Amino acid sequence: MSESLTLDKPRSPRRPAARRNNFELYSWAFMRISGLALVILVLGHLFIMNILDGGVHRINFAFVAGRWASPFWQFWDLAMLWLAQLHGGNGLRTIIDDYARKDTTRFWLKMLLYASMAVILVLGTLVIFTFDPNITA
């Protein structure tokens, strides 16, 4: 293998400290397992929302009320929310590690990422569980 492909330098004098845990291994596995589930969840969601029965043109409050009357679609959306958010967030964490050059930049970008993930997960979960079809305003 040519030198241009040698990404790790096994014989370099200064090697990073040995891993203390398997976090990266688990996150690698999680990306693949969640990816498999997301194929069904997200592609199914896109098909229902954009192609079936007139696509986006038939979406409105009543449509959502009809869907969330069923625990099946509530669970579908909840699973999709958590898996997509954790999968995408974990992917973005890798990307920040790749491109941020300074440790402080890296730190703050990750804090921003984790904060936005927390907001979206909490808000999305609450919206599904507290949905009220008879809301008036």
Partner 1 sequence: MSTTASTAAEAGASDRAGASRRSGTFYRGDPGMWSWVAHRVTGVLTFFFLFVHVLDTALVRVSPNAYDEVIETYKTPFVNLLEVGLVGAVLYHALNGLRVILVDFWEKGPQYQRPMLWTTLGIWVLVMIPGTYFMLARTVSEMFGGGH
Q: Which residues bind partner 1 (CB under 8 A)?
A: 1-2, 4-5, 7-8, 24, 28, 31-32, 35-36, 38-39, 42-43, 46, 50-51, 54-57, 59-62, 64, 81, 84-85, 88-89, 91-92, 94-95, 97-98, 116, 120, 123-124, 126-127, 130-132, 135-137
Q: Residue 17: which region, alpha, beta or left (left: phi > 0; alpha: psi -120 to 50)?
A: beta
Instruction: Burial-class residue 87 by CB neighbours within 10 Å (0-12, 13-18, 19+).
Output: buried
The item of ligand HEM, partner 1, none sharing an interface with residue 132, based on CB under 5 to 8 Å by kind, is partner 1
For the bound state, the minimum distance from the C-beta of residue 12 to partner 1, rounded and expressed in Å, comes to 16
Query: What's the rounded Cα separation, in Å, for the pair 118 and 81?
Result: 12
Contact between 33 and ligand HEM per CB under 6 A = no
The continuous run of DSSP H or E covering 6 comes out as: none
What are the angstrom distances between the C-alpha of 1 and each of 4, 12, 13, 88, 107? 8, 18, 21, 33, 35
Residues at the interface with ligand HEM (CB under 6 A): 31-32, 35, 38-39, 42, 45-46, 49-50, 56, 59, 64, 67, 73, 77, 80-81, 84, 87-88, 91-92, 94-95, 124, 127-128
